[in-house]
Each structure stands twice: as structure tokens, then as C-alpha cells.
Amino acid sequence: VLAEALAEQLPSAFPEMAEQVEAALPEPLDPGRSDDDFGRFIHAVPGVLAVKHGMAHPERALDLIHSATQRFSMEFALRPFLNRWPGEVLARLDRWVEDPNYHVRRLVSEGTRPKLPWGMGISLDPLVPLRYLDALHADSTRFVTRSVANHLNDLSKIAPGEVLARLGRWQGDARQAPKEMDWITRHALRTAVKRGEPEALALLGYRADLPVAARVTLSSADVKIGDSLGFAVELTSPEGGPVLVDYRLRFHRPSGSAEKVFKLKSASLAPGKPLRLDKRHRMKGDATTFRLHPGPHAVIVQVNGHDVAEAPFELSA
């Protein structure tokens, strides 16, 4: 609505409209920052105008998007142009991947994500943007590398082998600081880890074949909606080694059951020495996205991608 109200006061020809919009833009966001600087939502308007009025003028619209993304993130505006003018957009991204402004560099990754939340779907082959990620994973700003990791997490749902190969190559190339590369790897593989994929766990340093004995004990086998499920996990390994411990809750549903994975602990087991982990999980009765239903439930403990212990409990209203 705001964009259309503004458009009524601007020239109807898009090149002139874009020129006036650019002239009114504030100073770019602080180039000295490196993260969490999306800008103000009011500056989303140039992207809306570019999509609605500039589709027949892709080069001029992309110029406007380039300027606007330095004030507010423009991935939603870029995607319609990527669908309509893929050649022109990719040629522009080839240059933007080396842009001195990190908001522009981030747009190259964020705008081409295969499964951008709330974003328009794109017809681009999801493997094409990997050439951009090859450069951007070594970026000095977390705002960019977070987008790279999220992009790879999207891709892991489509082409998991490509993601593992890329991360392995980047680790070998050592163009990114080890600590940041570790962060990118963990963030990129978070969905694969929840699925317990052995190759993803191995890349993070966890052995899928590590022998682990486990026991889970509930504080109560009867839990009311709104109360907390308390449980303790005891792990022992004769060999010892790094462990990634998650837990899944199996929920009773009217049509069957459903499961959700939750993080518990990343730790290192000493050979033969027990490790105890305690957890309280609130069974929220007011959650809007996942309604709870009384009935038989269970908590399942997962170590390095494998189920190692399970305990049932009854959820009541």
C-alpha cells in the first residue's frame, strides 16, 4: 500500500521513477558492522516498486535493487527477476559476489536460496549458485557466512551429497578461519544432523559407530499439558569420544503420531566413565504451531545419529 501510494507521486516511466527513488534513499547501512543489520522495513519499498513497475526494465531495476539492498535486505525483490530474467540476474550476481558492500554480497547468497522462508520459489537449478558460495564462504562478515550456511542447509534437503562435498572441500582449502568454518559447517548441517546422517556427523567429528550404552529415566511417567517433562540420560562408552546428544519427542496425534527433534548436549565421553545429562522440557499447551493431545507419548535419546534409549510417558489434560 505504501509503495503504491508513493508510486502515484512518482513518474510513471520506471527509469525516471527509479532515479527519484534512489535520490531519496538515506545513507547506506553502517559498513563497519558485520552482522544483524537488516535495516528498517520502511526501506523495503524500493524493492516493491522494482518488482511491480520495473520488470520490463531488468537492468535498471537491478541497479535499484543494488542500491536498496544497502539499506534493507532485498532477497524477496530479487527472486521475481531471477525467474523472469535469469541470464541478466546471474550476470549481475557474477559481479556482486565481489562487491565491496557486504549487504550486496549477502544478497547473492540469500536471493538464490533454494528454500527461502516466505520467499517466492525460483526455477533456477539449485546447484548453479554453488559457484557463488565457493567465494562467499570465505567472507569476513558473519551476515554473509550465515546466509551461506542457511543456503547450504536448504540444499541439504535436495542434494545432501553436494553439500557434504562442498563443505569438505572448503575445509581443505582453508580460506576461512577454522573457528568460522566450523560454525558454517555446524549451521549448514543442522537438518542433516537431526536426520542422523552418518556422513554429516562424520564431517563434524562424530563417529556414527561409536559404541554407547544409554539409559533414560523419567521423573514421572504421567505429565500434564502445561507442566514439564523431567528426564535424566546416562551415557557410557567403553572407547569414549565426542558425542552429539539429541532427544526426540513422539507426540500422540488424532491421526497417529508425530516426532520433533531437540538439542540436548555436545560432549566428550571418557572411556568407561558415565555422563549424566538432566533436562526439563515444558509441554506447552498454548503453542499455536503444534497442538498437544492427551495420550501416549515417548522421549527417545539419539547419540551420533542413532537411537540409544526410549521411555514412554502419558500426557494428560
All domains in the chain, ordered by first residue: 2-203 (1.25.40.290), 213-316 (2.60.40.10)
How large is the greatest C-alpha to C-alpha distance in the chain, in angstroms?
A: 76
Instruction: Give residue 18's pLDDT.
Output: 94
Q: Is the pLDDT of residue 36 over 70?
A: no
Question: Which strand (E) or helix (H) includes residue 217?
Answer: strand 213-218
CB of 299 closer than 8 Å to CB of 271: no
Instruction: Give residue 289's pLDDT.
Output: 74
Instruction: Give residue 245's pLDDT.
Output: 96
DSSP H helix total and E strand total for the chain? 13, 8
Q: To which residue does cell 527433534 refer?
A: 261
Among candidate residues 81, 85, 74, the one with its CA nearest the CA of residue 109:
74
Question: Which strand (E) or helix (H) includes residue 50?
Answer: helix 45-53
Among candidate residues 80, 90, 101, 100, the one with its CA nearest the CA of residue 37:
101
How far is it, in rounded angstroms, from Cα 11 to Cα 167?
48
Q: Is the pLDDT of residue 3 over 80?
A: no
pTM: 0.84
Instruction: Give residue 136's pLDDT.
Output: 99
Burial (0-12, 13-18, 19+ Cβ within 10 Å), 207: middle
**What's the mean pLDDT in 114-132?**
97
How far is it, in rounded angstroms, from Cα 154 to Cα 60?
30
Cβ-Cβ contacts under 8 Å for 17 (sequence gap 6 or more): 7, 10, 11, 49, 53, 54
pLDDT digits (tens, 9 = 90+) for 245-300: 999 999 999 989 999 999 999 999 999 999 999 999 999 987 777 889 999 999 99
Mean pLDDT check: name the lowest of 7-21, 83-97, 241-255: 7-21
C-alpha cell recorded at residue 307: 537411537
Q: Which position has the higher pLDDT, 157 or 9?
A: 157
**What's the mean pLDDT in 147-152?**
99
Q: Is the pLDDT of residue 92 over 70?
A: yes
* Whole-number percent of the chain with pLDDT over 70: 97
Q: Is the pLDDT of residue 46 over 70?
A: yes
DSSP states of 102-128 as a string? Answer: HHHHHHHHHTT-TT-TTPPP--S-TTT
Burial (0-12, 13-18, 19+ Cβ within 10 Å), 184: buried
Q: Is the pLDDT of residue 165 over 90?
A: yes
Q: Which position has the higher pLDDT, 44 or 203?
A: 203
How far is it, in rounded angstroms, from Cα 311 to Cα 131?
46
Burial (0-12, 13-18, 19+ Cβ within 10 Å), 254: exposed
